[in-house]
Structure 1
Amino acid sequence: MIMSLAVILGFQLVGEVASRALDLPLPGPVIGLCLLVASCLARPALAHRLRPVTMGLLQHLSLFFVPAGVGVVAHMALIRDQGIALALAIAGSTVLAIGVGALVFVAVAKLTGSTDASALKDAGDD
C-alpha cells in the first residue's frame, strides 16, 4: 500500500516538476495524472497493482473536500464583501459551460454521423 501511494505521489511530483521547469500552462497534478494514465495503459500490471489503493481513495473522496471547506470559512470576510460578484461569476460560468458543452456535443454528433444529432435538431425545430 505504501509503495502504491508512493507511485501515485511520485507521478504527481514528476508532473509538478515538469510543469514548473517547462513553464507549462497545465497544473502539475494534471500532467502527473496524464503520465500515470499513460503508464497504466502501457503496463496493465501497474494499473492492477494500484487498483486497491485507488479504490480506497475513491471511497473516502469526500474527505478531500474538508480543506476546501476550511478555506471557505477562513475567507468568510472576502466572501461577505464579494459574495454577489462571486455568485454571479459562478452561475454565469456554469450556464456558459453547459451551453458550450451542449454545442460541442451537437457538433461532434454531427461529425460522427450519430443519429442523436438529428434527434436533437428535430427537437429544436418544435
Structure 2
Amino acid sequence: MRGLAILLSFNLVGVGLKEWLHIPMPGNVIGLVLFTIALFAKLVKLEWVEASAQWLTKHMMLFFIPYIVGAMALIPMLGAQLFPIALSVVLGPLLVVAAVGFVTAKLEKPSGREEKLL
C-alpha cells in the first residue's frame, strides 16, 4: 500500500506542478521524471515501490479499456481516414529506423579492425 501511495503522490505532484507552473508537458510525465530522480538520488527505495509497480504492470491492460471503448465511437471516422492512418503507421517507423541507421553510420568512427577488413 505504501508503494502505491508513493507512486500516486509523485503523479499528483507532477500534475500539480504542470498546472501551477503551466509547463507544456503532461503532468504524469513530470511525475515520472521526479520519481526517477528520487530513485536515483535514493530518496525512494526500490523495495518500497517494487510490489506495487509489478502489480500495476501486470494489470496494465485494464487501464487501456476506457481508451479502447472510446475508440469504438470513432470507427466511422477511422474508416474514412484508413489509408492515411495505415500509411503513417507503416511508413513512420520505417523512416525513423532508416534515419537512425543513417545518422549512426555517419557518426560511428571505424575502429582499426574494421579498416583492416576493408
TM-score relative to the length of structure 2: 0.75
- The aligned amino acid for 2:33 is C
TM superposition shift of 1:35? 0.9
Q: Structure 1's 104 and 69: CA in aligned 2 closer, same or farther, altered over 3 A?
A: same
Report the counterpart of residue 25 of structure 1 in structure 2. 24
After superposition, the Cα gap between the structure-2 partners of 1:34 and 1:98, relative to the gap in structure 1 and judged at 3 Å, is: farther
Q: Which runs of 4+ in 1 moved over 4 A?
A: none
Q: Structure 1: any 5+ residue segments left out of the alignment? A: 119-126
Q: Which has the higher contact order (CA 8 A, sep 6+)?
A: 2
| Equivalent AA in structure 2 for residue 80 of structure 1 | P
Q: How does 1:1-126 map to 2 (within 5 A)?
A: 2-43=1-42, 46-73=45-72, 75=73, 78-85=74-81, 88-89=84-85, 91-92=87-88, 94-108=90-104, 110-113=106-109
Offset from partner CA, 1:69-126 (integer Å, 9 cap, x none): 22123x2xx43145322652354155224312431243145424378xx9xxxxxxxx
Percent identical among aligned pairs is 31
Q: Which runs of 5+ in 2 are unaligned?
A: none
What is the aligned residue count? 112
Distance 1:42 1:79 in 2: 46
C-alpha distance in structure 2 between counterparts of 1:64 and 1:98, whole Å: 29
CA RMSD of aligned residues (A): 2.6
